[in-house]
Amino acid sequence: MADRAGLSFIQWAAWRYLVARKGRHGLSFMTTFSIIGVMIGVAALIVVLSVMGGFEQDLKNKMLRGQPHLEILAENALAGFSLQKYPLSNFEKMFPEATGVAPFIQADVVLKQGKHLSAVELFGIDPNIGGDLWSISSSMTEGKLTDIASQHAPLVTTDGDRSRWPGIVLGDSLAGQLGADIGDEITVLSPQAASTSTIMSGGTVTRSYVLVGVFHSGLFNYDSKRAVVSLDEGRKFMSDYEPSLDDENFVIGVGVNTKDPMHIDPLADRLKEVKGLSGKTWKHTNSALIFALQLEKYTMGAILMLIILVAAFSISGTMMMTVFHKKQQISLLRSLGMTQRDIGRLYLVQGFTIGTVGIVLGLGLGLGLCFLLKQLRFADLPVNLLSLRSLPVRFLPFDYMIICGAAWILSLLGAFYPAAIAARQNPSQGLRYS
């Protein structure tokens, strides 16, 4: 008998222990209940983490649409740097894997249209090379981005004024706040140039523009707070502007896009060798939000893992009942030559079998629900979520492996104590009181 106590015999015996004999349906019910518990826990984890992964991916895609993957800034970010000292060609050589390199200028200003005022971020770019880095060109809903580089006459003029002004592009939410339409005059006021010394040095206090386009990025902070002008116009609203900055081609920074934005950190490290410059990645800019998403994901995973933990306790309870009802059979197997180790292995295989069946069913159920959510899109979301019309789903094979592995470990841990009790059982007592 000891020679026959191999893995195949133990597997057969474990399966026989799982199947209740006629007249003892309680054990079969408890086994089924344990399997269902594991199945529900695994399926719930897969569906929830897949949906959360979909939301995370969608949000990251929106982050990447609204800003470059890497921003090259001066050590004093507000001061900026000269493109004559740091030409764009140098950055193109430094980052051969870059898909786009473009300078930009940022300034805090106030926009005025009629009686409406709004504090916004004025964004100066070269429309010929910078529109794609910030996804402004692809987000235009009215007009063309390249129109900001030319002069325009407003549709409505007063006192026969024929003045022509530079173009400006606004986010659709910002245009709605100002009540502005294409062709309207937009006045830009610089709160940083309010002092007499700034005005005497050539700083711009107010300047008129013509609305030539509207964009919609799907990100509220950009659509409601961003105004886009040409690079030369944006420079006039720098905090320390003077005419000499135009000659030196001063900018706040240079944006860089790559094919693989998820591995942007090594590119930023290259700037450590360049004196006077530093790098700021999109991950660093959105670090708080990314951390919150990861924390939410791990917290939700830990909470749902409690379902599997409860199922593991159910497995342990089921097997303890098996040990109680199978005392005579255990003692008989021991008397026929099976060792304590064989008995322990038998119950561990029993717990492993319950866990495996539950995990396989849960994996199939979870993936099936994810597929239905992704393909059929029967879970509609409110229309105020802009681009999202249904629950986003992202398949995460590595996370699924961790879920299944954790479920297997908990199933084995649940079976460990009953296996130890069964292995330590005295065969003579089991036969005596049977």
- pTM across the whole model: 0.72
| Predicted pLDDT at 427 | 65
pLDDT-based confidence at 247, cuts 50/70/90?
Answer: confident
pLDDT at 104: 92
What digits encode the pLDDT tens for the residues 182-207? 999 999 988 765 554 555 555 567 88
Rg (CA), the chain: 34
* Rama region for 23: left / alpha / beta (φ>0; ψ in -120 to 50; rest): left
- What was the pLDDT predicted at 26? 46
Buried/exposed 70-92: b ≥16 CB within 10 Å, e otherwise: bbbbbeeeeebbebeebebeebe
The whole-angstrom separation of Cα 389 and Cα 402 is 30
Q: Residue 40 above 80 pLDDT?
A: yes
Amino acid at 400: Y
What confidence tens digit (pLDDT) does each residue in 329-362 have? 666 666 666 777 777 777 788 888 888 889 999 9
**Per-residue pLDDT, 63:** 79
For 226, the 3-state DSSP assignment is strand
Q: Residue 279 pairs with which residues in a beta bridge?
A: 72
For residue 104, count other CB atoms closer than 10 A to its CB.
22
Average pLDDT value over all residues in the chain? 81
- Confirm if 415 and 315 have CB atoms less than 8 A apart: yes
Query: 304-337: per-residue pLDDT in tens?
Result: 888 888 888 888 887 777 777 666 666 666 666 6
Structure tokens at 119: 């504090």
